[in-house]
Every structure is written in structure tokens, then in C-alpha cells.
Structure 1
Amino acid sequence: MTPMDAQLKLELEAAAFRRLQQHLIQDRPDVQNIDMMNLTGFCRNCLSRWYQEAAQEAGVEMSKAEARETFYGMPFERWKDAHQTEASPDAQAKFAKSHD
């Protein structure tokens, strides 16, 4: 493996994040957040919250709504209306059990 400096490492990590974001927002909007939470323990909203936390650590004030809009590429309510479906009782029960 070719050695890399800190800047290149940062750029590669950012590129990987952008690819994950594209995959979750553009390529697989059919996958529901609750299903992601039940399988992986995180979802798109978690990623937007982590983005918000990173911004705040860097001294950038960012609200939850602003972070979600940045991550989703649109207001969250618009995303929900276009892509989110009602969670099944089974998915809700799994979520409740894993997030007591």
C-alpha cells in the first residue's frame, strides 16, 4: 500500500462518505430508516446528526433541520413525503426492543 499523508486520508474518507450518502439518498431511497436502524444500529438521520456534531466541533452552528437538509439534499419533510412509508408493527417492535 502506498503511504498517504493526513490530507489524502481526509480526502479519501470524505469521498467514501459522499459515496455512502449518494447510495443511501439516490440509489436506495427505498430502504427505510427504521429497517436500517434494526439491522445496523444507524440510519440516515444518525448520519445527519453525526454531520451536525462534526460541524459543531469545528465551531459551525448547525441545527438538526439544517444538518438533515444538508445530508438529504432537501428538507427532511420533503424526503419523508417522497420516500418514507409507515413502519410495520414488526419493525416498530424490533426497534422498541433494541432501543429500550
Structure 2
Amino acid sequence: MTIDEARKEIEALTNYIKKVEEYTPQTFEETAIKLYVELESVTKVAVVLNEKGYKVGDRKVISKDVSDLIRSKVTDEMHGLAQKMFKRNSRRASSRGWL
């Protein structure tokens, strides 16, 4: 890796961190998306949302709710990032025989 490549990677990581820190979720969906970008686990996101008291109808949030939300039509840049991460993680899990 050259110095220029390393600088580009550092800049990309810095931009990623800045976007995540500055993103302020206003809705349930945005909260779930930000949590997924931070945790990269639909199960962990469902647990955190349940701890915060969120519900889907009259029931607790389950990982399928989070997965469906991430797979839905992209609404903003953070959602696009979450969807990209979700697809990468899904491919990785499939190649390992987990799905």
C-alpha cells in the first residue's frame, strides 16, 4: 500500500465516522438504520430497539423487521450505507453456510 492509498483510506474512514456521528435519527426506521450501521447485526439492533421500548404493532421488534426495513427502498445516504453493509454480511454468511 502506498502513502496515497493509505491517505485515501484514512479519509474514507474519517468521512464514515463523521457521517455516523452527525446522523440524527428522527423516526423508528432511521433509528434502526443508524443502529445497524453501528452494530452490523440485525439481532443486536432488535434487542436495542426493544430495550428502548419500540414496538411493531403490539409486539416486540424481531430481527426480520430490521432486515425488511434495511432491504426496503433506500430513503437517504445512511440507509444506502446500511443496505450495502447488509448485502455484504448476507453474502458472507451464505458463503459460510450459515444461511
With the length of structure 1 as denominator, give the TM-score of the two structures. 0.35
TM-score by length of 2: 0.35
Structure holding more strand per residue: 2
